[in-house]
């Protein structure tokens, strides 16, 4: 299995928009999202990934086929610290889950972007809680700092760690 993490071009914006629809649909299990009058969830921040220098869109490929995406930004939505790295959104298609794809992709991101990271995960999503903790521990080989927060009525775990 050959994994590639490729920075998405502006021409691939529609691809990311389509993948974000799948992601949002899956996420409705945990958050109360509604579709618009066109039957879409939409993602208002997507255009910013090609206009703001602190945002980085990536597509995950397995054997040259799209398997998911990672949206990275510099600046914490939680602490408001502009120097913290944040995974804004992360999605691996179901057919590629439980194969190490997500872990391998996120390790590449953490290796590329050095500094303090915060990873936030919904407490109500136990699979994601388990995934993120194991991925972080694989990267730093120790326990990350763990805090909790309630944001817009949802309980979150926030893991913090350094990429050096």
pLDDT at 142 (0 to 100): 84
Block residue for tokens 């799209």: 66
pLDDT, residue 13, reads: 98
pLDDT (0 to 100) of residue 41: 80
Cα–Cα distance for residue pair 34/61, rounded to 1 Å: 29
Spell out the domains of the chain, with CATH numbers in brackets. Answer: 3-163 (3.40.630.30)
Average of pLDDT values for 38-61? Answer: 94
Question: Residue 128, SS3?
Answer: helix
Largest CA distance in the chain: 47
Condensed to tens digits (0 to 9), the pLDDT of residues 14-49 reads 999 999 999 888 877 777 778 778 878 888 999 999
- Each residue's pLDDT tens digit, 99-142: 999 999 999 999 999 999 999 999 999 999 999 999 999 999 88
pLDDT digits (tens, 9 = 90+) for 68-107: 999 999 998 777 899 999 999 999 999 999 999 999 999 9
């Amino acid at each position: 299995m050959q994994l590639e993490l490729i920075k998405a071009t502006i021409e691939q914006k529609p691809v990311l928009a389509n993948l974000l629809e799948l992601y949002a649909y899956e996420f409705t299990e945990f958050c109360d999202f509604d579709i618009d009058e066109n039957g879409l969830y939409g993602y208002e921040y997507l255009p910013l990934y090609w206009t703001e220098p602190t945002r980085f869109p990536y597509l995950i490929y397995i054997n040259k086929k799209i398997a998911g995406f990672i949206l990275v930004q510099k600046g914490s939505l939680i602490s408001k610290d502009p120097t913290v790295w944040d995974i804004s959104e992360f999605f691996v298609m179901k057919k590629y889950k439980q194969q190490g794809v997500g872990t391998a992709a996120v390790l590449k991101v953490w290796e590329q972007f050095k500094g303090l990271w915060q990873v936030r995960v919904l407490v109500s999503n136990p699979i994601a809680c388990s995934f993120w903790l194991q991925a972080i521990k694989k990267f730093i080989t120790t326990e990350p700092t763990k805090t909790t927060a309630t944001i817009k009525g949802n309980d979150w775990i926030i893991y913090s760690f350094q990429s050096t």
